[in-house]
Structure 1
Amino acid sequence: MSWLIMALLSAVFASLVAILGKIGMSGVDSNLATAIRAVVMAVASVVFVAFTGSLGKIGTVGWKPLSFIFFSGLAGAASWMFYFGALRLAPASKVAPIDRLSVVFTLILAALFLKEKVNLGIVAGCILIVAGSILIARA
């Protein structure tokens, strides 16, 4: 499967997170809802990794990659706590576009820390993402 197909599927499933999460949080604390979701994700991830035959490779992960993966997990947990908190307070149609500003932050951080190239198309795309997020959030 190509990276583009996987990225599109990621976007589709991310949209379902917002919709299903918003419906499921009715009468449920957003932090509790996030924790329940995290447990489901952990179990599903382990099942997926076991199914693909990669679970046995866990011992081959070095300390440096493991520490970055660990902190990535903490960042992801914080992201989802804030995301579900925002969903509790606002419509999914307004929260999701603001959340997608992560694309802009990722491009900036990738340029700074990963030395990824920035060109006019990337800058223009970032400007459009920011403008679109503002327009949707204010609608």
Structure 2
Amino acid sequence: MWKYYALHSAMFAIATSILAKVGVKGIGGNLAMAVRTVVILVIAWGIVLFSGQTKEVKDISRTNLIFLVLSGIATGLSWIFYFKALETGDVPVCGHRRVLLPVLKVQPYKCPAAASGFQMVIRMA
């Protein structure tokens, strides 16, 4: 079942790149990130509310909270730099191979047509 979730995560990560690249055009990366964050916040808390998990808030331990806050900081910094890259450069939208690694075996093979001489072969793990 985890492969199903990982594959969908990778597909949505790729869609995120494409949509964000178009969405950041003409506005600042920080504003784009802020808008995206509000949308994610509404979706995440909507899921918690509709699934009845609000009563679990009291079960969050100090360790849970520390690591979730640290994870949130890392995520925020990642988004800041990601949107700055989208805003200021020609960032390819297909750079999510790392997201697929748990699900797929990625193997290089010699390909004269590729700019680097190598192309990636992707097979289900």
TM-score, normalising length from structure 2? 0.73
Deviations 1:53-91 (A, max 9, x none): 212211110011111000100000000111111112233
Higher relative contact order structure (alpha carbons within 8 Å, sequence separation ≥ 6): 2
Note the 1:94-109 alignment, pairs <5 A: 96-97=94-95
Which SS does the other structure have where 2:26 is aligned? coil
User: Of the two, which has the highest radius of gyration?
Assistant: 2
Residues 10 and 100 in structure 2, CA contact (< 8 A), matched pair in contact too: no
Q: RMSD of aligned C-alpha atoms?
A: 2.6
Task: Please give the alpha-carbon distance, in whole angstroms, between the structure 2 residues aligned to 1:31 and 1:100.
Answer: 25
Q: What are the ranges of 5 or more consecutive residues in structure 2 without an aligned counterpart?
A: 109-115, 117-125
**Alignment partner, residue 28 of structure 1:** 27
> Residue 5 in 1 paired to residue 38 in 2?
no
**Alignment partner, residue 121 of structure 2:** none
Deviations 1:7-48 (A, max 9, x none): 111111111111111111111100111111111101110001
Residues 21 and 86 in structure 2, CA contact (< 8 A), matched pair in contact too: yes
Note the 1:12-91 alignment, pairs <5 A: 12-91=11-90
How many pairs were matched up? Answer: 108
Residues 29 and 87 in structure 2, CA contact (< 8 A), matched pair in contact too: yes
Q: What are the ranges of 5 or more consecutive residues in structure 1 without an aligned counterpart?
A: 108-123, 129-134
Write the letter of the residue equivalent to 1:84.
F
Write the letter of the residue equivalent to 1:21.
A
**Alignment partner, residue 111 of structure 1:** none
Write the letter of the residue equivalent to 2:73.
L
Structure 1 residues 10 and 103: CA distance shift in structure 2, 3 A: closer
The 4+ residue runs of structure 1 with deviation greater than 4 A are: 99-104
User: Higher strand proportion, which one?
Assistant: 2
